[in-house]
Structure 1
Amino acid sequence: MDPISIIGTILAFAVIIVGTLLKGSSIEALWNPGAFVIVFAGTLAAVMVQNPGRVLRRAVGMARMIYQPPRHRPGDLVSRVVGWSEISRRQGLLGLEPQIDAEADGFVRKGLQLLVDGGEPEAIRGALELELDTREQIDMAAARVFENAGVYSPTMGIIGAVLGLMAVMQNLTDPGKLGHGIAAAFVSTVYGVSLANLLMLPMAARLKTLIGKQTRMREILIEGLVAIAQGDNPRQIESKLQGFLT
């Protein structure tokens, strides 16, 4: 678990609640079922119209990465690649075959399999870079789902506020309802702006950062596997891959 992300999410809700109390309002004033439906359901509907189902499913699956981010340790990966190169120098490329099943990452397994199968260096690079680009595009499309939600939710908040004000205008003959009605109308704006700036946009930015780190790790792997296929010695490979760590 990432404690910073958890604390940030809790703080986001706390800011709204404490700010409301400090402004002299009440927590009850923040709850409005109509505003909730308009902003949250409306944002969800807009996102569903824009994105195909597979992208939405990927986005939902990636959301947990915010609070359980994968560990990106490029130094450890460089050490593993150097270890593979030492095995290949002693036992040949077939000596790496037991390492394939030991890897949980499908991208790593594919790279090692191509290496064990005796693929040419450029063929290995081409196959892995193609998969790298494809995976990155899929993940970035999923991250943009949250970015899109951050764009739509403030607009849905404005729509909710306008609808609320329309209801207020229908009750101008009853002054006792005006204050409560206007306050309820603007709850939609609070929902929309808060959803965008405290959750959706930060989540999208965080996911893009994590995707970038994952891409960097895979670039290290590609360079390392190609170097092994070319027959570079372990010290050369280590020196080359250290450039990714600066």
Structure 2
Amino acid sequence: MDLVSVIGVTIGFAALIGGNFLEGGSIATLLNGPAAIIVFGGTLGAAVLQTPREGIRRALSMFPWIVLPPKCSLSNGIAQVVSWSQTARKEGLLGLENASERENDSFDRKALQLLVDGSDTEVIRHVLETDLAVNEQRDVEAAQFYESMGGYAPTIGIIGAVMGLIHVMQHLADPSELGPGIAVAFVATIYGVAAANLLLLPIASRLRACIKEQSLYRELTIEGICAIADGENPKAIEMKLSGYLR
């Protein structure tokens, strides 16, 4: 579990709620059902409208990456590729068939299968780079679902505030209701701005970072697989791939 993400969200909302208390406010002043429905419902509806069904499904499946990101250790990836190259050097490319069957990652399994099938290096590179580009584009579009929600939320919050003020204007004859009514109206703005900047936009950025890390890991795999196909020495492959380490 990535505790940094949990800590970040906790600090953000703790600062918001703590600041409210220091100003003399209470939790009750930040709770408003109609404002929540307008902001969160409107934001979700707008994002769903612009996103294809497959993009929504992928966005939801990627949500756990915030605290459980894909394991993409570059050092482990290098060690794995070197192990494959050693097997290929001792047993030939057909010796990687068992490794292919045991591999859980679909990308690595495809790469090994291409090797076992004796595909040309250029064919292997073209197939894997195409697969990488398609998957990366799909994941980026899924991350944009949360980014679009972060863009809509503040505007929907303003709409909620205006709707609340319209309701307040209907009670101008009773000054005692103006103050509390205006305060409640602006809760919608708080919801929109806070949701965008403390949750939705950070989620989108976090997912983009995971996608970038995963793509780098797969680029490393492509280079390693192509080097194995070219019959390079395991030590030379390790030195080549060490350039990916930061």
Task: Give the TM-score taking structure 1 as reference length.
Answer: 0.98
Match of 1:75 in 2: 75
2:199 maps to which residue?
Answer: 199
CA distance in 2 between counterparts of 1:15 and 1:186 reads: 19
Alignment-derived partner of residue 64 in structure 1: 64
Q: Which residue of 2 aligns with 1:88?
A: 88
**1:13 Cα deviation (Å)?**
2.2
CA distance in 2: counterparts of 1:115 and 1:6, whole angstroms: 41
2:178 maps to: 178
Give 1:160's aligned residue. Answer: 160
Deviation of residue 44 (structure 1)? 0.3
1:51 maps to 2:51: yes
Question: What does 1:1-246 align with in structure 2 at a 5 Å threshold?
Answer: 1-246=1-246
Post-superposition Cα deviations, 1:109-154, rounded to whole Å, max 9, x if no partner, equal 0000000000000000000000000000000000111110100000
Amino acid at match of 1:126: H
C-alpha displacement of 1:27: 0.9
Q: Return the alpha-carbon distance in structure 2 between the equivalents of residues 72 and 129 of structure 1.
A: 17
Shift of 1:205: 0.5
Cα-to-partner distance string for 1:144-170 (whole Å, 9 max, x where unaligned): 111101000000000000000111111
Letter in 1 for 2:30: L
Cα distance in structure 2, aligned partners of 1:159 and 1:23: 25
CA distance in 1 between partners of 2:161 and 2:47 (Å)? 20
* Matched residue type, 2:137: Q
Q: Which runs of 5+ in 2 are unaligned?
A: none
CA distance in 1, matches of 2:15, 2:40: 19
Which is further off, 80-89 or 6-15?
6-15
Alpha-carbon RMSD across the aligned residues, in angstroms, is 0.8
Runs of 4+ in 1 over 3 A off after TM superposition: none
Q: Between Structure 1 and Structure 2, how many residues are aligned?
A: 246
Which runs of no fewer than 5 residues in structure 1 stay unpaired? none
**Identity among equivalent pairs (%):** 51
